[in-house]
């Protein structure tokens, strides 16, 4: 039988991969990294994982993983006062992280054929330069949107350099190609990234007809995620749908404000609102209790929460930003928000809860997840990505 042959300097049947990430304080990227490692494990000869906070990454069932912890963890800017001091420390760490990750790449150069920068933005310019000097192939999995804040625009100044140096660019969806304007790097654009939903956990356990009119939000409580607009929409939606209930899961800088506002609405207006701190497990049960999941983000790349909700047969109402329009078509696989103004959110909530074909939309969304976002589909995408980049080829029999 013909076997796959690696045409690079070290002949082998599977490539050796280094995964370089950025040690964010948030736990969210580490779930994605755990998913990525589980995808790469069956198609890689060896995986070198370079990051901080590596204890958060699940590698227990991966025999080919070598962990290189750089010993640094980032902080949120608001964690330290005064803020300008926090920013100076953050930038120092940003530079130090890149130096340490670059050093690990040099140390492991004999064990690596390709470097994947995953959840590494905005801190992988120096490691990428070192990767080029070591003559290793490089891929960046683009998880981010363009961003509208001042800091996002500053980090965006790196983009022309990054995209020029990279050998491959794997956007998590086609929408990010358009939003980031990377069409001109067409020859470098690889299959879409690894995102998948574990259908053993996220699945429909209750049909919509069996659920109460519960509208929910899951995510980090920041202005960018639209939590302020969602909370302001709650009393307006309650006026239009008398039996509606609300449920919010998450944490973040605006947690105290959300708690205060929701407690006031419950006490003064009698609105049924449940608040839950961020949970690592049990989200599937939460989604299965919702009639509608709302994510009015102002800026987003490819939020996993919408995929999780869709897998559980829960309709999604979200803004048309980042990769969201690639998976949600209005009244097809979900619903799109044209405006994040609270009154428009409330109007859409009322319309959707009374939509006669809501079950059909939920079924379409669930079907899309099963077709495109399973572990098997993600593994096949990455296998093709590595073969295309490294010229892994099958000789004729």
* Residue 284 included in any domain: yes
Q: Are residues 232 and 151 in the same domain?
A: no
* Residue 13 included in any domain: yes
Q: Are residues 267 and 389 in the same domain?
A: no
Q: Are residues 10 and 126 in the same domain?
A: yes
* Residue 325 included in any domain: yes
Q: Are residues 216 and 106 in the same domain?
A: no
Selected residue with higher pLDDT from 296 and 178: 296
Which residues are within 8 A (CB) of 313 and not within 5 positions of it... i.e. 6 or more apart? 204, 206, 207, 208, 288, 362, 363, 365, 366
pLDDT of residue 367: 94
For 347-373, how does the pLDDT look when each residue is reduced to its tens digit (9 = 90+)? 999 999 999 999 999 999 999 999 888
Tokens of 74: 């980032």
Q: Are residues 166 and 19 in the same domain?
A: yes
Query: Which CATH number covers residue 236?
Result: 3.40.50.2000
Predicted confidence (pLDDT) at residue 32 exceeds the cutoff of 90: no
Q: Are residues 230 and 151 in the same domain?
A: no
* Residue 201 included in any domain: no
For 214-237, how does the pLDDT look when each residue is reduced to its tens digit (9 = 90+)? 999 999 899 999 999 999 999 999
Q: Are residues 226 and 261 in the same domain?
A: yes
Q: Band the pLDDT of 392: cuts 50, 70, 90.
A: low
Q: Band the pLDDT of 387: cuts 50, 70, 90.
A: confident
Q: Which of 183-187, 311-315, 328-332, 348-352 has the lowest mean pLDDT?
A: 183-187
Identify whether the C-beta of residue 273 lies closer than 8 Å to the C-beta of residue 265: yes
Give CA angle at 34 (365, 190), nearest 5°: 65
Q: Are residues 221 and 171 in the same domain?
A: no
* Residue 331 included in any domain: yes
- For 219: left if phi > 0, alpha if psi spans -120 to 50, otherwise beta; the answer is left
State the residue range of the domain holding 339.
Answer: 208-372
Tokens of 291: 């009639």
Q: Band the pLDDT of 281: cuts 50, 70, 90.
A: low
User: What is the domain count for the chain?
Assistant: 2
How far apart CA 169 and CA 160 sit, in angstroms, is: 12
* Strands 273-276 vs 46-51: parallel, antiparallel or unpaired: unpaired
pLDDT of residue 12: 53
* Residue 203 included in any domain: no
Taking CA atoms, 318 is separated from 195, 326, 332, 333, in Å, by: 19, 12, 13, 11
Q: Are residues 113 and 177 in the same domain?
A: yes
Q: Band the pLDDT of 196: cuts 50, 70, 90.
A: confident
For 45-70, how does the pLDDT look when each residue is reduced to its tens digit (9 = 90+)? 999 999 999 999 998 888 889 999 99
Q: Are residues 385 and 254 in the same domain?
A: no
* Residue 202 included in any domain: no
Q: Are residues 249 and 302 in the same domain?
A: yes
- Average pLDDT for residues 204-208, to the nearest whole number? 94
Q: Are residues 142 and 173 in the same domain?
A: yes
pLDDT of residue 7: 40
Selected residue with higher pLDDT from 384 and 130: 130
pLDDT of residue 181: 85
């Amino acid at each position: 039988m013909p076997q796959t042959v690696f045409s690079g300097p070290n002949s082998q049947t599977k490539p050796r991969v280094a995964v370089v990430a950025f040690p964010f304080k948030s736990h969210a990227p580490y779930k994605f990294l755990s998913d990525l490692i589980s995808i790469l494990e069956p198609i890689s000869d060896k995986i070198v994982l370079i990051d901080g906070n590596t204890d958060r990454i699940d590698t227990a069932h991966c025999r080919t993983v070598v962990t290189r912890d750089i010993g640094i963890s980032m902080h949120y800017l608001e964690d330290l006062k005064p803020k300008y001091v926090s920013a100076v420390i953050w930038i120092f760490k940003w530079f130090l992280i890149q130096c340490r990750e670059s050093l690990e790449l040099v140390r492991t150069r004999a064990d690596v054929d390709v470097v994947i920068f995953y959840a590494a933005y905005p801190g992988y310019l120096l490691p990428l330069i070192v990767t080029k000097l070591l003559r290793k192939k490089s891929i960046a999995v683009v998880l981010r949107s363009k961003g509208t804040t001042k800091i996002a625009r500053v980090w965006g100044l790196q983009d022309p350099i990054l995209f020029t140096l990279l050998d491959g660019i794997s956007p998590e969806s086609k929408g990010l190609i358009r939003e980031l304007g990377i069409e001109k790097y067409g020859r470098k654009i690889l299959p879409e990234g690894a995102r998948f939903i574990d259908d053993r956990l996220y699945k429909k356990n209750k049909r919509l007809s069996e659920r109460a009119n519960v509208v929910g939000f899951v995510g980090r409580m920041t202005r960018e995620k639209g939590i302020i607009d969602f909370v302001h929409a709650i009393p307006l939606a309650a006026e239009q749908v008398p039996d509606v209930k609300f449920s919010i899961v998450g944490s973040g800088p605006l947690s105290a404000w959300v708690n205060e506002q929701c407690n006031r609405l419950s006490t003064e207006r009698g609105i049924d609102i449940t608040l839950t701190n961020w949970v690592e497990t049990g989200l599937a049960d939460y989604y299965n209790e919702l009639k509608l999941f709302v994510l009015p983000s102002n800026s987003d790349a490819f939020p996993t929460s919408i995929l999780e909700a869709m897998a559980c047969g829960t309709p999604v109402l979200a803004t048309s930003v980042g990769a969201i329009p690639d998976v949600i078509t209005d009244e097809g696989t979900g619903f799109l928000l044209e405006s994040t103004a609270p009154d428009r959110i409330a109007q859409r909530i009322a319309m959707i809860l009374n939509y006669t074909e809501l079950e059909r939309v939920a079924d379409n969304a669930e079907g899309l997840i099963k077709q495109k976002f399973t572990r098997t589909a993600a593994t096949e995408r990455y296998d093709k990505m590595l073969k295309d980049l490294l010229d892994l080829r099958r000789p004729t029999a």
